[in-house]
Chain A
Amino acid sequence: DVQLVESGGRLVQPGGSLRLSCAASGFSFSSYEMNWVRQAPGKGLEWLSYISSTSRTIYYADSVKGRFTISRDNAKNSLYLQMNSLRAEDTALYYCARDSDSTPFDYWGRGTLVTVSS
């Protein structure tokens, strides 16, 4: 079965940094594009970042560009999100989601909670 498991979320102070991980299993990770999506408490879904299967192509939403960095390690079947200069408005549940040209966001993890507060 396809599984995506996020980790790394915790309470962090404004201006701090955090690295989220997404461990993939049950499919050929290196063949799929991946994304990070977040959801602030009680709010809707916000797409954050995309990475191609080879890491050659990367995109970011304007809200995180310059602060967040997406990466992947296909040998470890893992996706990452390095988050710097965190703000209160970055408080959210962060999901990773599998993507492909034919089928977008067909599998999601359960999310990891990031809380930015002093």
Chain B
Amino acid sequence: EIMMTQSPATLSVSPGERVTLSCRASQSIYGKLAWYQQKPGQAPRLLIYAASTRATGIPARFSGSGSGTEFTLTISSLQSVDFAVYYCQQYSIWERTFGQGTKLEIK
């Protein structure tokens, strides 16, 4: 099983700030990394796949990077609609494991 570890668990930030979320895999996942955003009462929404490709309709302020076992999601200038929980997920093997999530809170 590939374990996915996200940090930090919670991040308090102000609108307009730049924020970086981290995700680490327990072994190489060859770039097969996705990021999802989930707001209360809603299903998750795909933001980024293949580590750095934005999904359809995702604003350019969201960007992903990384390789091997270390990955990041960056939001260049936080907007009020971005406060949510963010999950990373590996899909390099059949067991498509998620990280435990990072909650973005308004400071």
Contact = CB atoms under 8 A, between A and B. Distances in A.
Interface of A: 35, 37, 44-47, 50, 57, 59, 61-62, 95, 99, 103-106, 108-111
Please name the 6 residue pairs, one residue from A and one from B, whose CB atoms are nearest each other, closest first.
Answer: A108-B43, A59-B94, A45-B98, A47-B96, A104-B91, A44-B101
B71 interface: no
29 contacts: A44-B99, A44-B101, A45-B87, A45-B101, A46-B98, A47-B95, A47-B96, A57-B94, A59-B94, A62-B1, A95-B43, A99-B91, A99-B96, A103-B46, A103-B55, A104-B49, A104-B89, A104-B91, A104-B96, A105-B44, A105-B89, A105-B96, A106-B49, A106-B55, A108-B44, A109-B43, A110-B42, A110-B43, A111-B43
B46 A105 contact: yes
Contacts of B95: 47, 59, 61
A62 B97 CA distance: 12
A50 B38 CA distance: 21
B34 interface: yes
B36 A105 contact: yes
B44 A45 contact: yes
With most chain B CB atoms within 10 A of its CB, the pick from A37, A44, A57, A62 is: A44
B100 interface: yes
